[in-house]
Structure 1
Amino acid sequence: MCGRYAVSKDPATLAAEFDAVDATEQPERGPDYNVAPTKQVVAVVQRHPRGADGEVDQDTTERSLRIMKWGLVPHWAKDASGGAKMINARSESAADKPAFKKSLATRRCLLPADGWYEWRRDGAAKQPFFTTGPDDSSLAMAGLWTTWRDKADPDAPVLITCAVLTTAAVGPLADVHDRMPLLMPREHWAGWLDPDRSEVSELLAPPSEELVGALEIRPVSQLVNSVRNNSAELTRRADDPGLFRA
């Protein structure tokens, strides 16, 4: 976990919800009900802005929505091919891993989601489930991000990538999978995104049972198994999911 999730809101709506500036430059970005590794995703960051002279303004910060590629590529990687294998970072060990240590200290983000998918093995089959909030509010998955430059092509654009932090599953979620995304409650957003805060160990604890207890865990169609399928139908409860196999 987490290997797939859904985002139905457009950047303008997400910017308002997260009190951020929309810097995605993708106003027409449509819903994605089957977000998969290596896709371009919307992330919330908070950084010190640069003035007209290019200097960083250390006295102010700006929260904004940015586009990143899901699958973190460390700045020291020789190429970007390994990003697909680094979509998640374990919250318990991220501070000790070379690929994630610097990002945890200086480059944290939130990844908005309607909810996420997870698969539970039922005999020889795997049943997909969708976990979502109790209302229309987005879930905020804690994430890490970084930049990578292709040393073989200095003119190539900078690649911005991210990973979802995961933690031990809480309460009924453990019946589906032993891991879950590290959900960040609204009261922790400011502290998590603060670019001047490097020590965040207290924010890495699994979400409360109260938060998890308010979530809905529903079986869904196996259409989600294929990244080619992408519609709201994927997130709907399927009383007999086997009827909808791709």
Structure 2
Amino acid sequence: MCGRYTLRSRLNRILDQFAVETADFEWTPRYNIAPTQNAPVIYMEGGERTIAPLRWGLIPSWAKEASIGARMINARGETVAEKPAFRAAFKRRRCLAPADGYYEWKKEGTKKQPCFFHLADDQPFALAGLWEEWNGEIKGETKRWRSFTIITTDANPQTAAIHDRMPLILGESQWDLWLDPEFEDKTQLQAMIQPLADDDFFEIDAVSTQVNSPKNDSAECVVPIG
């Protein structure tokens, strides 16, 4: 599962790395992005890479209420092509969620220790996801909402000691094909859903339980402890 992540990078760095021309929103560094919050997502629109803040927790187009999105923050890669909530988006609305770290919780007896996964240079990487559009009301506002989910897969050897699942991370050579809404070869797409091959990709730090609360969103969330 992937239930919290960070995007501390400045927007201009994200645009440059992901080859997106412009963005019409502002972004401040985030240390604890949580479900139902907005986060930048990259997808194709009008034949170009577009970046926009979408709501985390995919709301299927057929949903009666937005609350279903809180249960759709992740999509299991093994079933994503067939599950009713995700199969239409998997076919045509694939996306990338830029991140520069994510959290998992390691069971230690009766407690859970939050751990922070990030690169040594804190460079952003691409979490593979799906996006969807839903027409309805959220917090008194009725409009067409765009939301997203992050695909997960089995953990690789490096991360398995912490958790048995990890987010699907795609390399730059895979981005064009993943984002292409005209590409519908299910076999090739499914073949991309694999645990990260690089077992030395991340640095993993035990961090404070401050991250347990979505209300905490400061640099203290990522400071190693012990």
Does the alignment reach a TM-score above 0.5? yes
The CA distance in 2 between the partners of 1:206 and 1:169, in whole Å, is: 6
Which is higher, the Rg of structure 1 or of structure 2? 1
Once the two structures are aligned, what percentage of the paired residues are identical?
40
Taking the aligned partners of 1:203 and 1:134, their CA distance within structure 2 comes to: 25
Which ranges in structure 2 are unaligned for 5 or more consecutive residues?
none
SS in 1 for 2:61: coil
The residue that corresponds to 1:218 in the other structure is 205
2:218 aligned partner = 231
Which whole-Å CA distance do the structure 2 matches of 1:221 and 1:136 have between them? 19
Q: Deviations over 1:104-133 (max 9, x none)?
A: 110011001111000011001110000012
Give me the whole-angstrom Cα distance separating, in 1, the residues matched to 2:99 and 2:213.
Answer: 19
Q: Could you tell me how far apart the structure 1 residues matched to 2:22 and 2:34 are?
A: 22
Q: Whole-Å Cα distance in 2 between the matches of residues 99 and 181 of structure 1?
A: 18
> What code does the residue aligned with 1:38 have?
T
One-letter identity of the residue aligned with 1:229: N
1:126 to 109, 112, 115: 112
4+ long deviations beyond 3 Å: none
- In 2, distance between residues paired with 1:236 and 1:21? 33
- SS of the aligned residue for 1:96 comes to coil
Structure 1 unaligned segments of length 5 or more: list them: 50-60, 240-246
Equivalent residue, structure 2, for 1:11: 11
Match of 2:150 in 1: 164
TM-score, normalised with respect to structure 1:
0.86
State the TM-score, normalizing by the size of structure 2: 0.93
List per-residue Cα deviations over 1:71-97 (Å, max 9, x = no partner): 000000011111111100000100110
Structure 2 residue 171 is the aligned partner of structure 1 residue 185: yes
Aligned counterparts, 1:1-246, within 5 A: 1-23=1-23, 25-27=24-26, 29-47=27-45, 49=46, 61-150=47-136, 156-199=142-185, 200-208=189-197, 210=198, 212-239=199-226
Partner amino acid for 1:171?
P
Asked whether the 8 Å contact 1:109–1:143 carries over to 2, the reply is yes
- Residues 112-167 of structure 1, C-alpha deviations (whole Å, 9 max, x = no match): 1111000011001110000012323202100000000129xxx9321000000000
Q: Secondary structure at the match of 1:21?
A: coil
Aligned equivalents of 2:21 and 2:144: distance in 1? 21
Q: What do the CA deviations read for 1:3-53 (whole angstroms, capped 9, x no partner)?
A: 000111233321111001333x222x2111010000001001123x1xxxx
